[in-house]
Each structure stands twice: as C-alpha cells, then as structure tokens.
C-alpha cells in the first residue's frame, strides 16, 4: 500500500471565464521513505498539488488516498486533525509567527493537540536540540538567520512526528550556504526514514531526492528515479543547456527550469531572462514573473 495515492486528481480554481485548471488528472503514488522532488515552471500546479496532499485543500475531481484511506472528501475538522497529526509543512518564507519565540513556534502544533504547556516546551526543546538550535530557544524569529529560521520551521514540522514532510521551495529564500545546511537536515531526516515531498527550482537539490517528477500545466510530464548524490538527468539536461544562468541564480532557485522542462520543452522560449548581477534583483524578478 502506497503512503500517498492520487487517482486522476484535478483541481479547478475560479468560476466561469476566470477558471484555472491547476491540476489535470494527476496520477501519483508515493511510498513510505521516499524523497520526492517536484520540479516545474512557476504556475504549473506544484503548490496546489502539495496543498492537496497536505490536506490544506481538496481535489475538485479524483481520489486521494492517504495511508490507504480516502481523504479527498473529508470534513474541515477531520482534515485539520489529520493535517496536524500526519503532515509537516515547510514553506519558502518560513511562516513562523513573528511574535512567538522559537520554542513557542516549534511547540505550537502540540497546543492544537491539547498538550499541556510544560510537556509542549519539553518536546519542542528536545527537537531543537536535535537540529542544533537549542541555544536559540528564546530568540524571536527576526533575530535568526534565514537558515536558522528555516531549520526552526522544519523543527515545527517535525514535532508531531508526521508521516509526510511537505516542503514547498524550502531553499527558495536562502543563500547557498544556508541551502546546504537545510538540505543536509532533510537528508538526515530521509535517512532516518521520513517521507519527504519537496518542490524546488534548483537542479542541484535533486541530488538529495530518490525520485524526481516534472510538472507542466497541471500535469506530471516526466518521472525519474535517481540515486542519492546524483543530479537528476532530466534536471541536468535543462540545466546544462541553459548554462548562461549564473551560479548565484541557480542557488537562488532561478534556474532554466523556471521556463522550461525536459522532454516536452516549450516551443516558444522567452528570450528575456533576468541577467541580474545581484541575486536579490533576480529574486524580485522571479517573484514578479510568478504573478
């Protein structure tokens, strides 16, 4: 039995003229212990897919089986509880609560389980110890570096001992050093048996994955199993063809994959590629392009 099983899952946003088909009859199955990387241009439906798998959203059509149980039509309360107990989310922009200190942020999911404050704090402390941020317990998020903040967010995702960790562009906002630290943490988690789903624009990061899927226009267009440590061929192909992209751009997540996917490359390639000197500017352009 697969941990995650999607059967012809579609997602439609909006009504009438403004309808968007964000997911188009996706079939996907993920086994326990896999590290799945999801790649694809902006707007192809990666986040929507993660939201459905993470029980933040429901499919418009099709079936979603989580641990063998149909989870596509759950009531909101049930969905929230499953989300709390089975899923750990990690976001690009960390999404810690700015007014809570590190310890309280990490412990927050336990509060929604009704655990006492003392036990919450103890458990959060243990997890922080594990990821090496015990000494930052009483810091506010704004006093941490990007890498530290994302590790705190990962600690929060781990605290309920979830079946699935969903990371949507977790390094998209980090520099190369911080990206590496965060990815090593994911690798550790993978080695210890966690199932990880990670959206990324950075081909380099497919090294950590056991399988890569490529999406375009709400469909999975290619799929590739990779050996740990090697960059996925599909990702590499595009990556090599678009060598003009600077190292910095790659690390910031602005890769050729943004506009292109292997196999079914788009016919009309937009020439205008942000050749920014600073990664800050390219990131801004990236965000703009996404809208």
Partner 1 sequence: MFSGNVKTAINSLRSAKWRSLLTMLGIIIGISSVVTVVSLGEGLKQQVVGQINSLGSDVLTVRPGKLVSDGSAKEKLNLLAFLSTSTLSEQDVTSISKLPSVGAVVPIDFVTNSASNGGQRLDNVSVLGTSSELNDILRPKMDFGGFFTKDNAGDNVAVIGAAVATQLFGGVNPIGHSVNVLGQDFVVRGAINPSAGGLISAQQTDLNYTVFLPFEPAKALVDGKVNISQILIRAKTGVNPDAAVADVQKTLLQNRSGTEDFTVLKQDQLLELTGGVVNTATGFVTGLAAVALLVGGIGIMDIMLVSVSERTREIGIRKAIGATNRQILSQFLTEGLALTIGGGFIGIIVSLLIFVLLRLYTGLHPVINAPVMILAVVVSIVVGIIFSVAPALKAARKDPIVALRGE
Ligand X SMILES: Nc1ncnc2c1ncn2[C@@H]1O[C@H](COP(=O)(O)OP(=O)(O)O)[C@@H](O)[C@H]1O
Q: How far apart are CA 58 and CA 10, in angstroms?
A: 9
CB count within 10 Å of CB 190 equals: 20
> Whose Cβ is closer to partner 1: residue 51's or residue 200's?
51
CB under 8 Å to 158, separation ≥6 — which residues?
88, 127, 165, 189
> Whose Cβ is closer to Mg ion: residue 69's or residue 287's?
287
Q: Rounded to the nearest whole angstrom, what is the least distance from the CB of residue 57 to partner 1 in the complex?
A: 5
Q: Which of 71, 72, 148, 160 touches partner 1 (CB under 8 A)?
A: 160
Segment 42 to 81, residues that bind partner 1, using CB under 8 A: 51, 54, 56-57, 76-77, 80-81
For residue 166 the two structure tokens come to 């969903």
Q: Taking CB within 5 to 8 Å according to partner kind, which of Mg ion, ligand X, partner 1, none is near residue 95? A: partner 1
| Burial bucket for residue 200 (CB in 10 Å: 0-12, 13-18, 19+) | buried
Q: Is 123 in the site for partner 1 (CB under 8 A)?
A: no
Q: Is 19 in the site for partner 1 (CB under 8 A)?
A: no
Under rule CB under 5 A, how many of the chain's residues touch Mg ion? Answer: 1
SS3 97: coil
Q: Taking CB within 5 to 8 Å according to partner kind, which of ligand X, Mg ion, partner 1, none is near residue 20? A: ligand X
Residues that bind ligand X (CB under 6 A): 13-14, 20, 22, 40, 42-48
Q: Which of 40, 59, 109, 203 touches partner 1 (CB under 8 A)?
A: 109
Q: Is 186 in the site for partner 1 (CB under 8 A)?
A: no
SS3 188: helix
Residue with tokens 């079936």: 63
Partner residues linked to 225 by β-bridges: 211
Candidate segments 65-73, 108-116, 263-271, 272-280, binder of partner 1 by CB under 8 A: 108-116
Nearest CA to 189 out of 148, 152, 161, 230 is that of 161
Q: Rounded to the nearest whole angstrom, what is the least distance from the CB of residue 134 to ligand X in the complex?
A: 34
Type and span of the H or E element at 237 = helix 233-241
Q: Taking CB within 5 to 8 Å according to partner kind, which of ligand X, partner 1, Mg ion, none is near residue 263? A: none
For residue 7 the two structure tokens come to 């059967």
Q: Which of 35, 47, 170, 174 touches Mg ion (CB under 5 A)?
A: 47
Q: Taking CB within 5 to 8 Å according to partner kind, which of partner 1, Mg ion, ligand X, none is near residue 119? A: none
> Whose Cβ is closer to partner 1: residue 95's or residue 176's?
95
Q: Which residues of 12-28 are buried (b: 16+ CB within 10 A; e: fewer)?
A: eeeeeeeeebbbbebeb
Q: How far apart are CA 47 and CA 106, in angstroms?
A: 23
CA distances from 94 to 106, 130, 153, 161 (A): 12, 19, 6, 19
Q: Which of 63, 84, 134, 273 touches partner 1 (CB under 8 A)?
A: 84
Binding site for partner 1 (CB under 8 A): 51, 54, 56-57, 76-77, 80-81, 83-85, 89, 91, 93, 95-97, 99, 108-109, 111-114, 116-117, 156, 160
């Amino acid at each position: 039995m697969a941990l995650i099983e999607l059967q012809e899952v579609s997602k439609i946003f909006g009504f009438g003229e403004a309808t968007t088909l964000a997911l188009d009859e996706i079939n996907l199955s993920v086994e326990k212990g896999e590290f799945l990387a999801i790649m694809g241009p902006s707007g192809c439906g990666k986040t929507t897919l993660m939201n459905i798998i993470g029980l933040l959203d429901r499919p418009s059509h099709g079936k979603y089986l989580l641990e063998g149980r149909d989870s596509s039509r759950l009531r909101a309360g049930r969905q929230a509880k499953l989300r709390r107990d089975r899923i750990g989310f990690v976001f690009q922009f960390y999404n810690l609560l700015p007014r809570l200190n590190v310890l309280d942020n990490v412990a927050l999911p336990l509060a929604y389980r009704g655990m006492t404050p003392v036990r919450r704090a103890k458990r959060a402390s243990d997890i922080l110890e594990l990821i090496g941020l015990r000494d930052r317990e009483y810091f506010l998020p704004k006093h941490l570096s990007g890498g530290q903040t994302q590790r705190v967010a990962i600690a929060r995702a781990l605290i309920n001992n979830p079946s699935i960790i969903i990371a949507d562009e977790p390094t998209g906002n980090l520099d190369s050093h911080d990206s590496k630290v965060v990815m090593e943490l994911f690798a550790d988690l993978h080695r210890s048996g966690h199932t990880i789903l990670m959206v990324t624009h950075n081909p380099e990061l497919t090294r950590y994955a056991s399988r890569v899927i490529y999406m375009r226009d709400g469909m999975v267009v290619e799929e590739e199993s990779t050996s740990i440590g090697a960059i996925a061929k599909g990702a590499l192909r595009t990556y090599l063809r678009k060598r003009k992209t600077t190292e910095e751009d790659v690390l910031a997540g602005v890769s050729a994959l943004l506009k292109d996917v292997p196999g079914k490359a788009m016919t009309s390639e937009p020439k205008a590629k942000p050749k920014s000197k600073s990664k800050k500017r390219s990131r801004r352009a990236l965000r703009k392009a996404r809208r």
